[in-house]
């Protein structure tokens, strides 16, 4: 694992600043769009199974709400920090704007290690955190969703807690819920389906064919695991996979369904038969056509970017590439599909879930996937066209589209003196 510390928020701001320069934004507009609108820090007690009480720290940051209610996931991890949540909230603003859905950007996180906690402890933590952030939450104000180490069950507990305070059910207050309580068909797979759509579009753009393309994926959770399965089904050769326990490599291809079964049974990929173990750092430098970081921020840095051998990097994770690494990848001709486009499938189907909950009228999985495909394909083409027009890379193409949409909304709403 790469150890250099780079502030994710500094990376997010550097990306924004470059777009603001290119767009010639006024000083006032830059200042408005650069800073988070609201930041809530909460310290709250949770009773542990042994009877002790532990105080946990969590955050909810709303970066911008000029295009609609704040939207973004909640992460449970020992690495959560206010700096990280700020960056993730800012990326949500641009992501929703790239795919042109009517949301602003937010993100939440709790500093905890859910792998060391019982189900009961996780439920009590989730409910108490939801209570703490309920002053921001609501179907018209701020709508959380899952992110790293959170899942539909946790969304169900949070929706239930919020609803208890209201006195009636408010399914549209949170997305990524189980189907039985107002979740959407297709949300669980949505981020990975979006990754599939942009990967196919990138392959078409470069004249690559799935059957002759090898893929390496870092992270084997909701996003990485399902992306691996969908790309395997597409005919790509998945040659490297990893999770927090380390990586596995087989240049002849890994049978992804077998790896998924093994990971479900053993809790991780360590010991998967028929593969060579590699570290997460080595995994990123394996010879392959397509590299998909789908775990954490700051994985491709100035220290390892020059050794990335892939032709295409699909950023399924948020913020996996530092600014320095981005320049190196560009110089080396690696096509980077930026996070704010590549992983936007999740929030797109969250948008569908919110719309369905508000209307109490539900769509079929086929309708969801077809609409998701249309939005992701259209967004890929728009980003590609913008980057070609402006003679820049896809990240800047996506930023130019997104920032100009948010700036336009801000300008139209006016700045109250
Ligand atoms: N779940 C969603 O709908 C969306 C998630 N994302 C982003 O995708 C990334 C992954 O999220 P999920 O798959 O939802 O989380 P998850 O909790 O389902 O899976 C995370 C995976 O990353 C692995 N991992 C954790 N630390 C690692 C490390 N140090 N090195 C290598 N692997 C490590 C875990 O073992 C696990 O396999 C995050 O950056 C998240 O923000 C982006 C858009 C939507
Ligand atoms: O589904 C959502 O609302 C947000 C998902 C998320 O946190 C992300 O796209 O990074």
SS3 label, residue 248 = strand
Closest atom of ligand 2 to 71 CA is 3
Query: Within a 13 Å sphere around the CA of 172, how many CA atoms are in the beta-carbon half?
Result: 17
Q: Backbone phi, then psi, for 61, in 5-degree steps? A: -120, 130
- For the stretch 281-311, pLDDT in tens is 999 999 999 999 999 999 999 999 999 999 9
- For the stretch 176-214, pLDDT in tens is 999 999 999 999 999 999 999 999 999 999 999 999 999
Instruction: Please state the rounded mean pLDDT for residues 164-172.
Output: 97
Question: Domains of the chain: which residue ranges?
Answer: 37-170, 189-337
Q: Establish whether residue 147 lines the binding site of ligand 1, counting it when its CB lies within 6 angstroms of any ligand atom.
A: yes
71 is annotated as contributing to ligand binding: yes
95: tokens are 């992501």
Q: Where are the beta strands (DSSP E) in 49-165?
A: 53-64, 70-77, 104-111, 142-146
DSSP state of 52: -
Inter-residue contact 189 to 146 (CB < 8 Å): no
Q: What is the ipTM of this complex?
A: 0.99
Distance (Å, whole) CA 96 – CA 100: 6
List CB contacts of 132: < 8 A, sequence separation 6 or more. Answer: 40, 42, 44, 58
Residue nearest to atom 4 of ligand 1 (CA): 147
Closest atom of ligand 1 to 297 CA is 39
412: tokens are 């139209």
- CA 222–ligand 1 middle distance (angstroms): 7
Q: Do domains 37-170 and 189-337 have the same CATH topology?
A: yes
Q: Which residues are catalytic?
A: 107
Q: Which-ligand-closest: CA of 349?
A: 2
| pTM score above 0.90 | yes
Closest atom of ligand 2 to 346 CA is 1
CA proximity to 396, closest of 347, 337, 343: 337
List CB contacts of 375: < 8 A, sequence separation 6 or more. Answer: 99, 100, 101, 348
Q: Establish whether residue 316 lines the binding site of ligand 1, counting it when its CB lies within 6 angstroms of any ligand atom.
A: yes
Reported as type and span, the H/E element at residue 292 is strand 290-293
SS3 label, residue 21 = helix
Options 3.40.50.300, 3.70.10.10, 3.40.50.10860, 3.30.465.10; CATH for 37-170 is: 3.40.50.10860
DSSP state of 309: -
Instruction: Please state the rounded mean pLDDT for residues 338-343.
Output: 98
Query: Within a 13 Å sphere around the CA of 88, how many CA atoms are in the beta-carbon half?
Result: 32
Q: Establish whether residue 72 lines the binding site of ligand 2, counting it when its CB lies within 6 angstroms of any ligand atom.
A: yes
Q: Which-ligand-closest: CA of 347?
A: 2
- CA 275–ligand 1 middle distance (angstroms): 22
Residue nearest to atom 4 of ligand 2 (CA): 72
- CA 209–ligand 1 middle distance (angstroms): 27
- Which region holds residue 50: left if phi is over 0, alpha if psi is between -120 and 50, else beta? alpha
Residue nearest to atom 2 of ligand 2 (CA): 347
57 is annotated as contributing to ligand binding: no
Q: Establish whether residue 342 lines the binding site of ligand 1, counting it when its CB lies within 6 angstroms of any ligand atom.
A: no
Distance (Å, whole) CA 32 – CA 368: 35
Residue nearest to atom 28 of ligand 1 (CA): 244
pLDDT of residue 4: 59
- CA 146–ligand 2 middle distance (angstroms): 7
Q: Establish whether residue 346 lines the binding site of ligand 1, counting it when its CB lies within 6 angstroms of any ligand atom.
A: yes
Binned at pLDDT 50, 70 and 90, residue 342 comes out as very high
Distance (Å, whole) CA 272 – CA 13: 40
SS3 label, residue 61 = strand
Options 3.40.440.10, 3.30.980.10, 3.90.1170.10, 3.40.50.720; CATH for 189-337 is: 3.40.50.720
Distance (Å, whole) CA 31 – CA 17: 10
- For the stretch 223-237, pLDDT in tens is 999 999 999 999 999
350 is annotated as contributing to ligand binding: yes
- For the stretch 127-159, pLDDT in tens is 999 999 999 999 999 999 999 999 999 999 999
83: tokens are 């700096």
- The pLDDT mean for the chain works out to 97
What residues pair up with 314 in beta bridges, in sequence order? 337
Q: Establish whether residue 148 lines the binding site of ligand 1, counting it when its CB lies within 6 angstroms of any ligand atom.
A: yes
């Amino acid at each position: 694992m790469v150890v250099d510390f780079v502030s994710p928020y500094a990376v997010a701001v550097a990306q924004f600043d470059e777009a603001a320069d290119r767009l010639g934004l006024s000083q006032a507009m830059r200042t408005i769009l650069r800073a988070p609108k609201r930041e809530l820090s909460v310290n709250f007690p949770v009773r542990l199974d042994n009877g002790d009480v532990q105080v946990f720290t969590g955050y909810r940051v709303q970066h911008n709400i000029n295009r609609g209610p704040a939207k973004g996931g909640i992460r449970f991890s020992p690495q959560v920090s206010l700096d990280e949540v700020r960056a993730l909230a800012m990326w949500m603003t641009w992501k929703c704007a790239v795919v042109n859905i009517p949301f602003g950007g937010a993100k939440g996180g709790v500093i905890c290690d859910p792998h060391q906690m019982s189900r009961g402890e996780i439920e009590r933590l989730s409910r108490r955190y939801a209570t703490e952030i309920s002053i921001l939450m609501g179907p018209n104000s701020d709508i959380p969703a899952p992110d790293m180490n959170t899942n539909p069950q946790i969304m169900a507990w949070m929706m239930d807690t919020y609803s208890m305070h209201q006195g009636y059910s408010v399914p549209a207050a949170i997305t990524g819920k189980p189907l039985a309580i107002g979740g959407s068909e297709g949300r669980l797979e949505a981020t990975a389906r979006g990754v599939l759509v942009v990967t196919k579009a990138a392959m078409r753009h470069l004249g690559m064919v799935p059957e002759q393309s090898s893929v390496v994926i870092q992270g084997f959770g909701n996003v990485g695991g399902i992306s691996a399965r969908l790309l395997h089904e597409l005919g790509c050769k998945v040659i490297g996979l990893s999770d927090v326990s380390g990586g596995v490599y087989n240049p002849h291809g890994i049978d992804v369904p077998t790896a998924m079964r093994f990971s479900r049974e053993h809790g991780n990929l360590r010991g998967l038969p028929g593969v060579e173990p590699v570290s997460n750092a080595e995994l990123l430098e394996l010879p392959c056509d397509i590299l998909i970081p789908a775990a954490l921020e700051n994985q491709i840095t100035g220290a390892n970017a020059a050794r990335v051998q892939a032709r295409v990097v699909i950023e399924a994770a948020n913020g996996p590439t530092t600014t320095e690494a981005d320049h190196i990848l560009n110089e080396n001709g690696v096509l980077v599909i930026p996070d704010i486009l590549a992983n936007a499938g999740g929030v797109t189907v969250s948008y569908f879930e919110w719309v369905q909950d508000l209307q109490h009228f539900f769509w079929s999985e086929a309708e969801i996937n077809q609409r998701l495909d249309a939005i992701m394909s259209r967004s890929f083409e728009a980003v590609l066209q913008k980057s070609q027009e402006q003679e820049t890379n896809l990240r800047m193409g996506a930023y130019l589209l997104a920032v100009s949409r948010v700036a336009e909304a801000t300008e139209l709403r006016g700045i109250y003196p």
